[in-house]
Structure 1
Amino acid sequence: MSKLVTIFGGSGFVGRHIARRLAKAGWRIRVAVRNPNDAGFVRPYGVVGQVEPVFCNIRDDESVRAVLRGADVVVNCVGVLDERGKNTFQAVQSDGAERIARIAAELGVARMVQISAIGADPASDSVYARTKGEGEEAVRRHMADAVILRPSIVFGPGDSFFNRFAGMPGPVVPLVGPDTRFQPVYVEDVAAAAELAVVGKAPAGTYELGGPDVDTFRELMELMLRVIQRRRWIFAMPFWMARLAAGVFAVLGKVTFGMVKGPITGDQVRQLRRDNVVSEGAKGFAELGIQPAAMEAILPEYLWRFRPSGQYSAVKASAQNLKGGSGRAGFS
């Protein structure tokens, strides 16, 4: 019988790519999620019954224990970018990771892969980064041979980074921390690293995963605008203004019981003060034998829908050239 892997958050952006790769490799996959009915799309990743979404509350011991029984390997992809109700940074990224690792050790699960993030640090003033760091410490404490993957911003079809900014209406792209550096990494490369860890081909330890390019936030937006063939004014919002706006929206969120949600939180402002790149001397893709893909090769494959003429932009540009146009008529 093929081996079984439980993937917490296996229907999320990164998790679904890991699930698809492991299904192709013949693994049986248990996708642990809060809403199995919304994760039915993972079933066709394998043959009938190979990939199954199952309910799990990461905040409850018995719920986690139920989905880990019989598993050979566990992958934890669960994380939150902002807090909602009981799903706080502490509950999900720190306590949740600890609970998974502790119960995995109790049940004799052979290996664990923890998807963390560059910048994870138990001493950080960012609650997101601090709880990511605490989660890593808990995983190492209970599963000493775990593989921890720390990606920079992850991009690819369905991402919440380039898609978010490309889809913004209006002539302005507001940025907080335009000079902050990032090292975006393709989601399939992260999934490939996780697959190596699952099958035991990645030595235990922490790996920081970044793509081949390091760019500032502003440079990333300029690249995105070139890909979608649009002109926008990039507005560099000062940190003091961003903190003020985040504070106002935080108050509005409380008085409206979450109905009003701001575009940025105070914790995200704190994160944007720090570069999000691979640390000097850190293990990464090179040690895993993976050559990461460049953004320029991937972004046009899924951002084309934001172009003025969508999938017909290239045809329209060619027609314009034949008429003696400048070839820039598709920009707006």
Structure 2
Amino acid sequence: MHVLITGASGFVGRRVTQALLAQGSRVTAAGRAPLPDARIAFIAADFVRDTDPAAWLPRLRGVDVVINLVGIIRERGSQRFAQLHVATPRALFAACVEGGVQGVIQLSALGADEHAATEYHLSKKAADDYLAALPLRSAIVQPSLIFGPGGGSAELFKTLAVLPLGVRLGRSPQLVQPIHIDDVAEAIVRLANSLAPAQPAAANGKAAPAPPCGSRRIALVGPEAMPLQDYLAALRRTLGLEPQRVLTLPDAAARAFAWLGSVLPGLPMDRDALRMLERGNTADPADTAALLGRPPRAVQDFMAPAQRGAERTLAQLNWLLPLLRLSIAAVWIITAYVSALVYPEADSYRLLQRTGVPSALGPLMLYGAAGLDLLLGVATLALPQRLRSPLWLAQIALIVFYSVLIAWRLPEFLAHPYGPLTKNLPMLAAIWLLYELEKGKR
């Protein structure tokens, strides 16, 4: 069976690709860059631009099954729902009909139905409905929350589960029915096998008749629906932590926080995400169990016992490292403010003179150093991770320089009861920790 996968480099795509390879299928990934696995063929494709069926038709030669796993939860830059969820999938599906592809699997979302209200759900539904109307065998899989290593939502919920204080956004139950990524991948592979061309019959060498065209919509869910806070509590128990105290925000406050998330990038919740949570994300698990031939795994079985310690540490670092970075930025920014605007200017000049700075250069050194501190603080907050390694090294070098110079020219600070120099040691260790954890990452 030859399968073409779009979104093969994503969270679900990686698992599906490996599962197909494990059963001996031929796999081709259509995307912007080849995958590192030499067993996977590559075809260049761009979901932002390839909105014409003619762009897809040549890529489908010899393909038996197409699996579309491309999706975004939020729009960013050139990644828009209209292209990635609607126009390009429709072009791909139309090309599948013209190119004689035997079957198509579309990864949708639970909630992409007649009650859909958010742009995410509506865009998924538009592609689902188009596919279902084509003269083609297809399966539209609609998973609830997917848990697994490397999943964005899984990492978010693990992090929320290990926080010392939980926050519940409003009083609605926010029902979810999480399913493990391995169950999702297995279900998709089983569907692909059911859509693949029939094998020749042994008796006469002729292929059996192909099943009639038609589309199935399958909700992929775990065995049990539960409120979101119960899901987080179950993850917390699995990670070996004591029960979490939970602060329930009034509905108005929850909506204000979600509005803020729609305005400021980086926050985990926006208005659409809150609306989807409030609506609920559940379905009958019977279809999932029938497809798998067994019940889907429960939340308490999502993480192997041997991995739980490492998972707990990683989840804790997900919130502790940003907190550490924020505190380091605050040190630089507050130091700049105190140096430039609070500490007596005359006293600052006297200290600078004792370190060897001529009086004429006092203002330049004082306000230049304050400006540099401010710049380092702002850069600590603003620079993306891939650009921060040089920043950490610059901060370490500057702190070491300040410490050595002050210890040499102002030795009384070494014996100061508040330890202004010795407190630089944990600061250096914290910055070095961030450097080691972030260097080389993209």
TM-score, normalising length: structure 1: 0.78
Tell me how far apart the structure 2 counterparts of residues 220 and 265 of structure 1 sit (CA, whole Å).
Answer: 20
Q: Structure 1 stretches of 5 or more lacking a match?
A: 253-259, 311-332
Checking the alignment, whether the CA contact within 8 Å between 1:227 and 1:304 is kept in structure 2 is: no
1:245 equivalent in alignment to 2:262: no
Any residues of structure 2 matched to 1:87-166 within 5 Å, and which?
87-121=79-113, 123-166=115-158
Checking the alignment, whether the CA contact within 8 Å between 2:97 and 2:136 is kept in structure 1 is: no
Q: Structure 2 stretches of 5 or more lacking a match?
A: 197-210, 316-442
Any residues of structure 2 matched to 1:156-305 within 5 Å, and which?
156-167=148-159, 171-176=164-169, 179-200=173-194, 204-231=215-242, 232-252=244-264, 260-279=265-284, 283-287=287-291, 289-301=293-305, 302-305=307-310
**Which residue matches 1:321?**
none
Q: CA deviation at 1:298?
A: 2.2
Tell me how far apart the structure 2 counterparts of residues 249 and 205 of structure 1 sit (CA, whole Å).
Answer: 35
Tell me how far apart the structure 1 counterparts of residues 300 and 124 of structure 2 sit (CA, whole Å).
Answer: 30
**Which residue matches 2:23?**
25
Residue 205 of structure 1 aligns to a residue whose secondary structure is: strand
Which piece of structure 1 moves more, 149-158 or 119-128?
119-128
Q: CA deviation at 1:86?
A: 2.2
- Greater helix content: 2
> Residue 237 and residue 300 in structure 1: after superposition, are their counterparts in 2 closer, same or farther (change >3 A)?
farther
Q: CA deviation at 1:32?
A: 2.0
Q: Which amino acid aligns with 1:244?
A: A
> Residue 238 and residue 95 in structure 1: after superposition, are their counterparts in 2 closer, same or farther (change >3 A)?
farther
Checking the alignment, whether the CA contact within 8 Å between 2:6 and 2:70 is kept in structure 1 is: yes
Residue 26 of structure 1 aligns to a residue whose secondary structure is: coil
Higher RCO (CA < 8 A, seq sep 6+):
1
Tell me how far apart the structure 1 counterparts of residues 284 and 273 of structure 2 sit (CA, whole Å).
Answer: 20
Checking the alignment, whether the CA contact within 8 Å between 1:18 and 1:191 is kept in structure 2 is: yes
Deviations 1:277-315 (A, max 9, x none): 1159x74332552431122122245443243699xxxxx
Tell me how far apart the structure 1 counterparts of residues 180 and 107 of structure 2 sit (CA, whole Å).
Answer: 14
Moved over 4 A (4+): 201-204, 300-303
Checking the alignment, whether the CA contact within 8 Å between 1:243 and 1:266 is kept in structure 2 is: yes
Checking the alignment, whether the CA contact within 8 Å between 1:73 and 1:109 is kept in structure 2 is: yes
Equivalent pairs: percent with the same residue?
Answer: 28
Q: CA deviation at 1:112?
A: 0.5
Checking the alignment, whether the CA contact within 8 Å between 1:9 and 1:15 is kept in structure 2 is: yes
Checking the alignment, whether the CA contact within 8 Å between 1:162 and 1:224 is kept in structure 2 is: no
TM-score, normalising length: structure 2: 0.60
Q: Which amino acid aligns with 2:268?
A: P
Which piece of structure 1 moves more, 94-103 or 181-190?
94-103
> Residue 225 and residue 28 in structure 1: after superposition, are their counterparts in 2 closer, same or farther (change >3 A)?
same
Checking the alignment, whether the CA contact within 8 Å between 1:115 and 1:149 is kept in structure 2 is: yes
